[in-house]
Amino acid sequence: MHPVSRPASADDLAAVLTLYEEAVGEQAVLRPMWPIADGLPDPANAAVTAIMDDPDSRLVIGEIDAVIVGFAWARSEPLLPQAGGAPVCVIRLVYTTPEGRGVGVGNAMLDMLMDDFRGRGHRHFDARVSPGHRYAKNFFEAHGFSARLIIMYHDAAGGP
C-alpha cells in the first residue's frame, strides 16, 4: 500500500464527483454553511470540468493501489497590488476517504500541488480549513501552515 498522487484527467471526473459529494456531506455536518459558501458551485460536474480547464488551477488525485481515494484542488490567486505581483497558491479543497487518511495520501497530494506551484514561482500558500475540522487543521500545521485569517459569520435569519 503505497499512496501516490497524479494530475486529474477527464477520465477521473466521475470519481472526483463521488468524492466531492462525500466531502459535502462531511463538511455540512461540521458547518452547514459550507455547501453554499465554500464548496463548488452547482452543477458540480461543470465546476470540476472548469477547474480542470483553468490554467491557474491544479486538480490532483490521490490513489492507493490504483484506487482513487482522494482529490485536492489548488489555485493561483493574486495578492494585493502592494505584493508586487506575487501570487498566492490557495489550496481550496482537499478530501480523502476515511480509509485514505493517515496513510500518506494527503501528503502525496499536497506535496504534488506545492511542488507544482513552487515551480511556477509561488512562495505564498494558503489552505482553507473549516472550524472544528481538527484533522485538517493538524494536517496543514504538520506541513508548516499556520492560521492567518479567521472568517466570522452571522446569519440574521438564524439559518446556516
- Domain-wise residue ranges, the chain: 3-142
Instruction: Give pTM, 2 decimals.
Output: 0.93
**Strand arrangement, sheet containing 3-7:** 3-7, 57-64, 67-78, 87-96, 124-127
Q: What is the pLDDT of residue 73?
A: 98
Helix (H) or strand (E) holding 45: helix 44-53
Q: pLDDT at position 159, please? A: 62
Q: Please report the pLDDT score of residue 160 as a whole number.
A: 57
Mean pLDDT, consecutive 10-residue stretches, the chain (160 aa), reads: 93 98 94 92 98 98 97 97 96 95 95 98 94 88 92 79
Its CATH class, for the domain covering 3-142, is alpha beta
Q: Residue 150: its pLDDT value, please?
A: 86
Q: Which candidate, 17, 21, 27, 18, places its Cα nearest to that of 48?
A: 17
